[in-house]
A and B are shown apart, each in its own frame.
Chain A
């Protein structure tokens, strides 16, 4: 299988879906001739023209609002947020319109909308270009939320999101755009929303993570393997709906759970997982459910300070050791 980058995988997914289905179109800030801030839409404007690759004003509420309207009349818009940090400007359109329309109309209308949100830190972007706001949307009923880590999953999940008849917030990690490279099939495929994947099997500890944190988690699992501790690494891929079955199955096997995410600690996705495991798999626990997350603070511009805050392999290994020894 050929190897491509995470960014190329995202671009390919959009290109193929636009070729496959005329109702698919892209809109966002500078997504047209410029090809997008990260070049995710590069080449689409030349291929499909300005009618299907729309440059918009710098107004996220407008981008999302237009996309919702288009979705209601039968299009399948892909709205790009230049940074996930600015998604909050379109928040009302997402949580009060996109998320509720199906419910409000008694199921008579669907909102087949994808919002691509480049998220994540570690790129020295400071506090307005580094955020991980996924938990806000996981919390809101009526939205699907995905956060792939590998090029294969990035392409497959974006295709599934475009084909889904519900609003999907697609968090793509900026740090992975060019760093993550991996095998991607030439054939048309999609990765189902709501399905986690065990990226590494193990019997002693369960490590649940998603997005860019997958890689330090896998590295940490490798280190633990040398110390005789087998860590099972679950990549959630989808956060809403979340694949509880895979999480519970693993926890029942290992009896110990560590959750790692780059989002803040308080009320993050890890908090919900810890709570559900405590509720439904309490009898199977052989240690406290632990978390390694970004602390409850902002992203400092200073690289050493950001490094200090971000979860990394070393912090994950430390937590795994503690949990293994418990």
Chain B
């Protein structure tokens, strides 16, 4: 069984908007501003895998500075106090929250993995047999942040079969 892609950039922006309002920008003064720049650099990333009727990955990537700011906001501390452990935990939680909300937009029966965090650019992680199908690319206080969806190529093949 396979499914059509149902999560697009607007859907990802809606999820991101909720995360920003709840945790990263509760005062509404520093939202994530979409740029559409798929080639923007990243320095750290976290992902969750989804398996079932839709199979693939949801990836949250950003600069280290944006991750540090996110950790500071999540943990209510100054960004200069953020440790590597804080950074990893917050990146994982961001991937988990975004992935969980994305899963809710997919057909029933999908399973969500625990998050994987990599303190290296998004390009350092390869997703075999998967291709990027949608993404939200933007800047937060001038720092790059992206959320992208990678779909298993086997799924894509079945769709066109």
Q: Do A and B truly interact?
A: no
Give A residues with C-beta under 8 Å from B: none
Give B residues with C-beta under 8 Å from A: none
